Amino acid sequence: MYRHADHLPADTVLRGFDLCIVGAGAAGIAMAQRLANTSLQVLLLVSGAPGDKREPAAARQSLYAGTTGEFLRKVDPDFLQRSRLNMYGGTTNHFGFWARPLDAADMLARPGYRDVGWPISADELAPYYAAAHEFGRFGPVNYDDMTFWQRVLYARCFDALPGDKLHGAIMRAQYEENLHDFQVQFRDQLRDAPNIHVLFNAHLLTIDSDEARSHVGGLQCATLVNGEAGTRFEVRARQYVLACGGIENVRLLQLSGGLGNNARDMLGRGFMLHPLLTNAARVTFEQPIASEIRNFFREQQIRLKAPTTPAGDYLHMATPLVNPELVFEYLVFNAWGMLAPTHQTLLDERIGNFRIILYFSDDGKEAIVNLNWEQLPDENSRITLNPALRDPVFGQPAAHVDWRLNEADKRSAVRALGLSLDYLRARGGAGVKMITDVGGAAESWTFPPAAGALETGDHHMGALRMSASPDAGLVDANSRLHSVDNLYIAGSAVFPTGGYANPTLTIVALSLRLADHLRGL
């Protein structure tokens, strides 16, 4: 059911909830949807309004003001405002839901390169990827079924050659707004569920905990009225989940006196992005690349009809859908192929995982190489509070994000490009022209506005790392803060490693898993 915090008398204490989820982007909405019509009384705090779509209200977005370190300022001076949306549906309103699960190997420590891994296995996450696929209407989790993909893309990847270090892999995307704007897709379900209380215009300011800082007693919240701080109110629940995005989750813990920090002072450290070189190099080929190979790398709309029996197969619909309404009857999403390293390549090269997307010219004689790769969690890459800058509404210290690319990250990118260009040379790529300068220190790479500039990739990961032991991270395998018995984190801040896959499918999978855990399943 819907409620509006604007209507609350000042200093109201809202109580009687089993669970309070703060934040309604992909993570918060996935949890609330999973918990709809269960026995749990759930309060979903939404910093936004029921009709929010595309653009946030300016005053609410101003709460995301902050400062960045020198390196990040060179890459993207507007990073904190551009890469987040403070509204119902969250940053998720920005995107086309490019999706792919993490590779199983991404979740393991990689000896000789990084000792960090996940405290949960890919097998444990697998059923939740399937559920996340249903949530995003992506059909079967069959990324490795190349026979299927070659059939539906009318394509084949480059033929394998002895000694190949890369192989073809599949990405999907969902551009249908009514599906990827989750506040729209699940609107009726959340509004109509008797146990889900969606409270709009509800902004969390700080989290109250007991003296030992091991138990949350309540949340201090406020409304925002005509661009100014409005009514204050408090929320009390048995358990709490922060689902406010990969930077704001950290800031809220820091605003609450460093709640959940561990003995190694890791709160906010290890912040990672998926750095991106959109136009890293141009490759020209001796012979035009065959159209069926270009088809593999070309983004295409895929239309599947779900099986009518449990044992049935997905039916591929070859003709485009004329009637847009049919998007709800069929599974309609986009898919395309790319190149990724084999696991052995990562072990041999001791580098981060990566993907190469190829954009071919129409005549097949030229391709632009697009690289996106995995960073090492580096404790100097971190989020802190900047007491010198306060948000313009509630006057709380803003976030300061000091994102770093260290030597290992740089080496990963240089090797990833080297391996990819070798792969293309072996297929007739005769001329290679680097557009990005990846020589020298990261500070001397190509920066905006030059062509081939480094981009941030916009995936905010790692600053509240999940770990088996409290010494190695902030949250446990169930996403609960190690040191607080009733506070959980949803979102990509808990990722100990990031692979190269866009994070939101994994965010949704982890959120659905957390919802099941909180239900005691």
Ligand X SMILES: Cc1cc2nc3c(=O)[nH]c(=O)nc-3n(C[C@H](O)[C@H](O)[C@H](O)COP(=O)(O)OP(=O)(O)OC[C@H]3O[C@@H](n4cnc5c(N)ncnc54)[C@H](O)[C@@H]3O)c2cc1C
- Of 91 and 254, the one with the shorter C-beta distance to ligand X is 91
Closest CA to 66 of 82, 80, 87: 80
Prior bond of 387 cis (ω within 30°): no
Tell which residue, 127, 84, 134, has the closest CA to residue 333: 134
Among residues 80, 107, 507, 510, which is the contact residue for ligand X, using CB under 6 A? 507
Size of the residue set binding ligand X (CB under 6 A): 38
Site for ligand X in 188-217 (CB under 6 A): 203-204
> Nearest to residue 281, comparing CAs of 451, 417, 448, 434?
434
If binding is defined by CB under 6 A, does position 47 make contact with ligand X?
yes
- Output the CA torsion 455→457→463→469 (10° steps): -120
- DSSP annotation string for 30-51: HHHHHHTTSS--EEEE-SS-TT
By CB under 6 A, residue 504 contacts ligand X: yes
Q: Contacting ligand X (CB under 6 A), which of 92, 223, 256, 372?
A: 92
Our CB check for ligand X shows the closer of 28 and 218 to be 28
CB-nearer residue toward ligand X: 83 or 345: 83
Closer of 259 and 419 to ligand X (Cβ): 259
Instruction: Pick from 17, 79, 95, 488 the residue near ligand X by CB under 6 A.
Output: 95
* Segment holding 417, helix H or strand E: helix 407-425
Region of 16-24, 108-116, 207-215, 320-328 interacting with ligand X (CB under 6 A): 16-24
Residue 461 CB, nearest approach to ligand X (Å): 9
Residue among 235 and 369 whose Cβ is closer to ligand X: 235
Phi, then psi, of 43 in degrees rounded to 5: -105, 125
Q: Residue 171 or residue 438: which is nearer to ligand X going by CB?
A: 171
- Encoded tokens for 317: 């619909």
According to DSSP, the residues that pair with 203 across neighbouring strands are 222
In the complex, minimum distance from the CB of residue 74 to ligand X, in angstroms, rounded to a whole number? 19
Could you say which of 50, 69, 96, 397 contacts ligand X (CB under 6 A)? 96
Region of 36-44, 86-94, 305-313, 427-435 interacting with ligand X (CB under 6 A)? 86-94
98 binds ligand X (CB under 6 A): yes
Pick the stretch among 310-318, 326-334, 435-443, 503-511 that binds ligand X (CB under 6 A): 503-511
Footprint on residues 264-303 left by ligand X (CB under 6 A): none
Residue range at the interface with ligand X (CB under 6 A); choices 19-27, 103-111, 208-216, 462-470: 19-27
Backbone angles phi, psi at 460, to 5 degrees: -95, 100
From 68, 91, 231, 254, residue interacting with ligand X (rule: CB under 6 A): 91
Neighbours of 305 (CB within 10 A): 15
Task: Determine if residue 102 is left, alpha or beta; phi over 0 gives left, psi from -120 to 50 gives alpha, anything else beta.
Answer: beta
Residues near 397 by beta carbon (within 8 Å), at least 6 away in sequence: 255, 385, 386, 387, 389, 390
From the list 86, 254, 256, 479, which residue makes contact with ligand X (rule: CB under 6 A)?
Answer: 86
Q: Spell out, one character per residue from 25 to 44, where the chain touches ligand X: x when CB under 6 A holds, - when not.
A: xxxx----------------
Shortest approach of ligand X to residue 235 CB, angstroms? Answer: 11
Residue 22: which H helix or E strand, with range?
strand 12-22
d(CA 128, CA 485): 24
CA distance 218 to 13: 9
Q: Which is nearer to ligand X, 402 or 458 (CB)?
A: 458
Burial tier of 486 (Cβ tally within 10 Å: 0-12, 13-18, 19+):
middle
Distances (CA, A) of 141 to 106, 134, 172, 304, 393: 17, 10, 11, 13, 44
Rounded to the nearest 10°, the torsion over CA 333, 336, 342, 346 is: -80
Instruction: Pick from 248, 374, 409, 476 the residue near ligand X by CB under 6 A.
Output: 248
Q: How far is the CB of 392 from ligand X (least distance, A)?
A: 14
**DSSP string across 339-392:** EEE-HHHHHHHT---EEEEEEE-TTSSEEEEEEEEPPPP-TTSEEEEEEEEE-T
Binding of residue 84 to ligand X (CB under 6 A): yes
How far apart CA 203 and CA 46 sit, in angstroms, is 7
The window from 5-13, 87-95, 274-282, 311-319 that contacts ligand X (CB under 6 A) reads 87-95
Specify the stretch interacting with ligand X by CB under 6 A; choose among 127-135, 190-198, 384-392, 500-508. 500-508
Return the residues of window 479-498 that contact ligand X according to CB under 6 A: 491-492
Interface residue list for ligand X (CB under 6 A): 22-28, 45, 47-48, 83-84, 86-87, 90-92, 94-99, 203-204, 243-245, 248, 252, 458-459, 491-492, 502-504, 507
